[in-house]
Amino acid sequence: MYLEKLEIQGFKSFAHKTTLTFPAFAKASAGKPSVAAGIAAIVGPNGSGKSNIADAVRWVLGEQSLKTLRGKKSEDVIFSGSGKKARLGFAEVALYLNNEDLSGGIDYKEIIIKRRLFRDGTSEYLINNSKVRLTDVQLLLAQANFGHRTYSVIGQGMVDAILAASPFERKEFFDEATGVKQYQIKREQALHKIVTTEANLTQISALLREITPRLRQLERQKEKLEKRSQIEAKLRGLQLEHYSFLWRKTEADLKRLAQKRNELAARHNAAKIEVDRLSGRLEILEKEQKNAPAFEALQKKYQEALSRKSEISFEVRGLEKELVALTSQTPERKAANIDAAALAREAKKLSSFLQKVSQAKTADDWQKLQTEARALQTELERLLETKSPEKDGNAKEKISKHLEALKQTLLSASQEASQAEQALSEARRKEQGATSEVFSLQKSYQIKQQELARLSNEKNQVEVELARVETRHEDLSQEISKEASEYLQKEIKATSSPAGEAKDLWPQIARAKHDLEMIGGIDPEISQEYSTTKERHDFLSTQAADLKNALEKTKQVEQELGVIIEREFNSAFTDIEKGFNEFFTLLFGGGKSSLELHKENELEDLSEEMALSLNEEERDKLARSFRIGIEIKATPSGKRVSNINMLSGGERALTSIALICAIIRANPSPFVVLDEVDAALDEANSLRFAAILEKLSRHTQFITITHNRATMEQASILYGVTMGDDGVSKLLSVDLEKAVRTADLHR
């Protein structure tokens, strides 16, 4: 891999798009030189913007320190404008890396690393025009053995900064120099992942500690809910069997009683119709009896006729007795005196008696009439016996005539009474026939009335029982509505109850209800909540297990990376130390140099007060943790120097260059940018440096910014940087190898 092209646009003084193309380069292998000299020199006057090219490379490789980029704020890297050129809105730098040997850790023959920054602060990194993170860029650069912080871009102050840095700050430089930076990045990622995983695991464990009791509670409630469901199902079965039997029984009773009521109603109606018919017939007969041919009038006429006949008979008998008395020679008879007025009164009594006789019906009535008849007979006989004889001489004749007339009248009265008696007998015969039918109808009417009363009573009893059953049916319906669900109500009313006697299921129903009351009301959403909580608990448990496995694996990877880092670092450090001593001896013409690892316990580095503030776990962790630093010792030939700070400026520069060269040779970077690192060298040392640079260029591509003639002579391409009055840097290039070939042709 090598740097093929560098594009700069809007970065610092390079307002216009500027492209630096570098010649093809391939590392030398055993017995084979490089394809072309791997040195490109950038020259120009001070202030022309040469170092901005080094800053551009450093910036595109991910440099975040504005101090290193010689700025105060991020937008300082964007062209700020001049008197003749307006400022720009963005800066962009692109590195084109040739990766035909696929040594860059990415399966592309060309790798383009690009960085953009806009004045609004928006920035982005791209690899092969795909947006990536800074971490991705850093990891790629670490895998390719170069980066922005170390020897890939060596600035003017970095040469001395290596020596001036503390041992622990110097360690970071050596991490990249030894090629373990990629493993450190991965290890840092692993450590970060471990911290994140432990934090996530702690959070998940806290969630599990919070969820587990709730899950157990929900599980118990779910078991209760399941038990409640079982009891409810059993209760529904019992209710179905119990209420369906009662429902069918009450409906059957209703149907039976309704049918019986209808039958009794029909019979009752028929009996009532018959009673009404008999009542109507009786009314007709009674009317007929009332409308019979003057029965009472005939009876009255008959009584009147009898009374008249009796009166006339009495009167005839009285006249006959009187006549006998008149014609008799017995003095008692002649002296007889009959009281006519008293006799008339008795005759009236006799008429009243005869009327009572006609009205008598019972034996008691006849017995009373006999007593009255005897009394009446006795009184008449008395009157007739005490009657006085007529003294008048003409009385006999008058009495005879009168007697003869009365006899004629009596005969007429007898005939009239006989006719009245015949008419009355005929009327009585007819009346007796009608009475017999009335009696028969009355008996039938009475029987039907009794039957109607019995049917009414039965009908009333059935209606009372039917009303009782209807009430029970209504109460049962309300009870079913209260006790059973709507679906169960339909099922109860639709299910045919099994035949046989009813089972007493109410104790079981009451027991099931009691069990439900003991369980209490449970939200039916408990099952859903339990499922959700169980799913979350299982998910978190799985996640916790996965995190634990991942944590163990990550810790194992971190430990393996630590071993790799230590092994690779020690191996590379040995090579660097060897090269450092070699290049130091070459540059100084002798002398001695070395690199030493320095370990320091972090707990011992803390103050006593801070150490006491830590807990036991933190102290143990710090006690097992060490900070590693690198001490540089250099002693030029003929001098006794105990500290590198005692070296002169030139000696310090040569020592730094010797260290950088040792690093480059031990772990070659694809390319190295040297920004006037030879500025402090004299001519002799410049030649030595150029010779070393030429040897190293067979393995590493160099872009050197220099004023040194010896360095320029080793370059295969020369770029000149100038700046006009518009404050914009411009680029001129000279292909020295091509120029030499052209000069040779003209000789």
Determine the Cα–Cα distance for residues 71 and 68; give it in Å rounded to an integer: 8
pLDDT band at residue 126 using 50, 70 and 90 as cut-offs: very high
What DSSP string describes 37-57?
A: --EEEEE--TTSSHHHHHHHH
329-378 pLDDT per residue, tens: 444 444 445 566 666 677 777 777 777 777 766 666 666 777 777 777 77
Query: Tell me, what's the pLDDT at 433?
Result: 60
pLDDT at 457: 87
Do 632 and 691 reside in the same domain of the chain? no
Domain boundary among 361, 392, 425: 425
On whether residue 209 sits in a domain, the answer given is no
Instruction: Please say whether the beta carbons of 266 and 381 come within 8 A.
Output: no
**What's the confidence (pLDDT) of residue 18?**
92
The answer to whether residues 357 and 397 belong to one domain is yes
Cα distances (angstroms) measured from residue 558 to each of 185, 547, 673: 11, 15, 33
Q: Does some domain include residue 155? A: no
- Please indicate, yes or no, whether residues 663 and 528 belong to a single structural domain of this protein: yes
| pLDDT above 80 (res 217) | yes
- Give SS3 for 64: coil
For the chain, the average pLDDT equals: 79
Query: pLDDT tens for residues 243-273?
Result: 778 888 888 888 888 888 888 888 888 888 8
Domain of residue 580: give its range.
Answer: 168-179+523-668
Q: Which long-range contacts does 471-478 make (Cβ < 8 Å, 24+ apart)?
A: 472/250, 473/250, 473/251, 473/254, 476/243, 476/246, 476/247, 476/250
Instruction: Name the CA dihedral angle for 287, 289, 295, 297, rounded to a multiple of 10 degrees.
Output: -20
Please, which contacts does 312-317 make with residues 24 or more away whose CB atoms are closer than 8 Å?
312/406, 312/409, 312/410, 312/413, 313/410, 314/343, 314/347, 314/350, 314/380, 315/347, 315/406, 316/403, 316/406, 316/407, 316/410, 317/384
**Residue 725: pLDDT above 70?**
yes
**pLDDT above 60: residue 614:** yes
Which of 29-38, 358-367, 704-713 is predicted most confidently?
704-713
Is 456 a domain residue? no
Domain-located, residue 573 = yes
Q: Is residue 516 part of a domain?
A: no
The CATH number covering residue 536 comes to 3.40.50.300
- 494-553 pLDDT, tens digit per residue, is 766 555 566 778 888 888 878 777 777 666 777 788 888 888 888 889 988 998 898 899
CA distance 193 to 34: 43
Same domain, 623 and 714: no
In angstroms, the Cα distances linking 130 to 110, 114, 118, 133 are 14, 9, 18, 10
Residue 624 and residue 690 in one domain: no
Shared domain for 604 and 547, answered yes or no, is: yes
Radius of gyration of the chain (CA): 77
CA distance 504 to 731: 111
For residue 32, what pLDDT is reported?
A: 47
Q: Are residues 93 and 142 in the same domain?
A: yes
Flag whether pLDDT at 390 surpasses 50: no
Other residues' Cβ atoms within 10 Å of the Cβ of residue 468: 12
Give, as one character, the DSSP assignment of residue 146.
-
- Count the domains in the chain: 3
Residue 603: pLDDT over 70: no
pLDDT higher at 607 or 655: 655
Is there a single domain that holds both residue 31 and residue 104? yes
CA distance 151 to 170: 12
Q: Which residue from 208, 222, 210, 219 is spatially nearest to 538, judged by alpha carbons? A: 208
In 3D space, the residue among 679, 731, 737 whose CA is nearest the CA of residue 709 turns out to be 679
Q: Residue 718: enclosing H or E segment and its boundaries?
A: strand 717-723
Q: Give the pLDDT confidence score for residue 440 in this predicted structure.
A: 78
Pairing mode of beta strands 626-635, 592-601: antiparallel
H or E element in which residue 745 lies? helix 736-746
3-class SS of residue 594: strand
Residue 385 has pLDDT above 90, yes or no: no
Concatenate the DSSP letters of all residues of 301-340 into one string. HHHHHHHHHHHHHHHHHHHHHHHHHHH---HHHHT-B--H
Residues above pLDDT 90, as percent of the chain: 8
132-181: pLDDT as tens digits: 998 888 878 777 766 545 567 887 667 677 777 777 777 777 777 777 77
Structure confidence at residue 131 (pLDDT)? 92
Strand (E) or helix (H) holding 7: strand 2-9
Last residue of a domain, one of 651, 668, 685: 668
Here the tokens at position 112 are: 């383009």
Which tokens go with 693?
């640079």
Provide mean pLDDT across the span 210-217: 86
Residues 6+ apart with CB under 8 A from 589: 637
DSSP 14: B
Residues 53 and 731: beta-carbon distance below 8 Å: no
Q: Which of 605, 638, 668 finishes a domain?
A: 668
pLDDT tens across 76-94, in order?
A: 899 988 888 888 999 999 9
User: What share of the chain in percent tops pLDDT 70?
Assistant: 80
Query: Is residue 615 located within the same domain as residue 682?
Result: no
Residues 571 and 556 in one domain: yes
> What is the per-residue pLDDT for 368?
72
The verdict on 645 and 681 lying in the same domain is no
Least confident of 286-300, 383-397, 697-711: 383-397
Q: Are residues 631 and 624 in contact, defined by beta-carbon separation less than 8 angstroms?
A: no
The C-alpha atoms of residue 701 and residue 24 are separated, in whole angstroms, by 10
Cα distance between residue 409 and residue 738, in whole Å? 205
* Highest averaged pLDDT of the listed ranges 27-41, 85-99, 357-371, 603-617: 85-99
Token pair for residue 254?
Answer: 């209703």
| Contact (Cβ atoms closer than 8 angstroms) between residue 679 and residue 156 | yes
Q: What is the pLDDT of residue 402?
A: 76
